[in-house]
Amino acid sequence: MLFGLLKKIEKANIEKLASGKKIPEFKAGDTLKVHTKVKEEKTERIQIFEGVCIARKNNGINSSFTVRKVSASVGIEKVFPLYSPVVDKIELVKTGKVRRAKLYYLRNLQSKKARIVEDLNATKKAKELASEAAKTEKVNVAENTIETAASAE
Amino acid sequence: MRTGVIAQKLGMTRLFDEVGAHVPVTVLKLDNCRVLAVKTDEKDGYNAVQLGYGERKDKHTNKPQLIAHQKAGTKPAEKVKEFRVSGDSILNVGDVLSVAHFEKGAFVDVQGTSIGKGFAGPMRRWNFRGLEASHGVLKAHRSHGSTGQRQDPGKTFKGKKMAGHWGNETVTVQNLKVIEIDTENNLLFVKGAVPGAKKSFVFIKDSEKKTAKK
């Protein structure tokens, strides 16, 4: 009973953190654009980190994913907590065709060999899904505005 | 000096603060933490309150304990503990303490029994490096080596780090910050680790050294 409570709290916390932002379905091998909030003294801006997701770790609220890119011939990896409020948005750019869950072998490969074949069908499907979701959201927003306008009258 | 409370350790999780930084927290649960008896200066020579935590069945309680609980008008508690208090913060029998006893942002000391690790050698218990793998070392690769000097001082000093029983001892962690309070579920979120296994009992007191900034 005691441990059920802790799990419940964690679940509620995840729901609270995940509400208001959409986390797309993605896996290792996908190319992502991760929008993170960066705070500078008084202003806040969004920084985008684009690269290949090489690992996903699923562990409730501790879930994280690793994104790797090569910048000026230096490999850079960033580990993002999936539910962190600092991660503003995750954008799926491409879906990759890979045969591993963790792509740590990319660290030992360079340039052409480090490429990942794109799964064109999957990318297309994901983009359609995303656009549909955006449409429905727009409709919802429109309806809401109409309703508020009506109630205002 | 206010009384402490008895709590049970649920485990650890993480929270995110306003800035988005991650805060590791231990979740502690209070369950009907009530006053069973009060000791006063005039009668007993010191001021203290006896607290009971949770519930246990009558048939699992011995008779003196059962009668003591019946006098206090409650069901037998799972765990009983006495806390010394100052004269002005004595409570009444039957008072129930909740997490509201503590404030968000306050500092607390948490006492618990550390996880028992059994009989451990010096390498595991004290991070000794052991002896060499070769160069004539015989059957003593994980031993501690010398334990002293020569005829002067002629003895092994007390407290010398050696193999022995490790863990399962009372440990207090001081100055842990209360990050959040959940009055609905009677939960306390304390920053950092707390001694003991999950489900084990811990005692939470106001911090002796540190007070929250006002």
Quick check: B22 contacting A, CB < 8 Å? yes
Instruction: Note the pLDDT of residue A97.
Output: 86
Average pLDDT over residues A114-143: 74
Could you say which architecture CATH assigns to the domain A2-118?
Roll (2.30)
The model's pTM is 0.82
- pLDDT for position B89: 86
Listed range (A88-102, A109-123, B67-81) with the worst mean pLDDT: A109-123
pLDDT band of A78, cuts 50, 70, 90: very high
Q: Do A84 and B16 touch (CB under 8 A)?
A: yes
Q: In terms of pLDDT, which residue wins out, A130 or A151?
A: A130
Taking only the tens place, the pLDDT of each residue in A4-46 is 888 888 888 888 888 878 888 888 989 999 999 888 888 888 9
For residue B8, which amino acid is it? Q
Instruction: Using the predicted structure, report yes or no on whether residue A102 has a pLDDT greater than 80.
Output: yes
d(CA A13, CA B15): 8
pLDDT at A41: 82
pLDDT at A24: 85
Of B8, B14, B16, the CB nearest to A85: B16
pLDDT by position in tens, chain B (length 214): 899 999 999 999 999 888 888 999 999 999 999 999 999 999 999 999 999 999 999 999 999 999 988 888 889 999 999 999 998 888 998 899 999 999 999 999 999 999 999 999 999 999 999 999 999 999 999 999 999 999 999 999 999 999 999 999 999 999 999 999 999 889 999 999 999 999 999 999 999 998 877 6
> What's the pLDDT at A80?
93
CB within 8 Å: B16 and A6 = no
ipTM score: 0.73
Round to whole Å and give the CA distance between A139 and B4. 56
- Which of A1, A6, A63 to substitute to test the interface with B, most B CBs within 10 Å? A6
Q: Which residues from chain B sit within 8 angstroms of residue A10, using beta carbons?
A: 13
Asked if the Cβ–Cβ distance from B22 to A84 is below 8 Å, we say yes
How far CA B145 is from CA of A79, A117, B131, B164, in Å, comes to: 44, 58, 7, 15
pLDDT category of residue A149 using cuts at 50, 70 and 90: low
Task: Please give the pLDDT value at position B113.
Answer: 96
Closest Cα of chain B to A29: distance in Å?
A: 27
Mean pLDDT of A82-106: 89
Residues 30 through 69 of chain B touching chain A, CB cutoff 8 Å:
none
Closest CB to A86 among B8, B20, B182 = B20
Task: Copy the structure tokens of residue A133.
Answer: 């979701």
In this predicted structure, what is the pLDDT of residue A3? 67
Strand (E) positions, chain A?
A: 31-40, 43-57, 64-71, 74-81, 87-94
d(Cα B191, Cα B186) in Å, to the nearest integer? 17
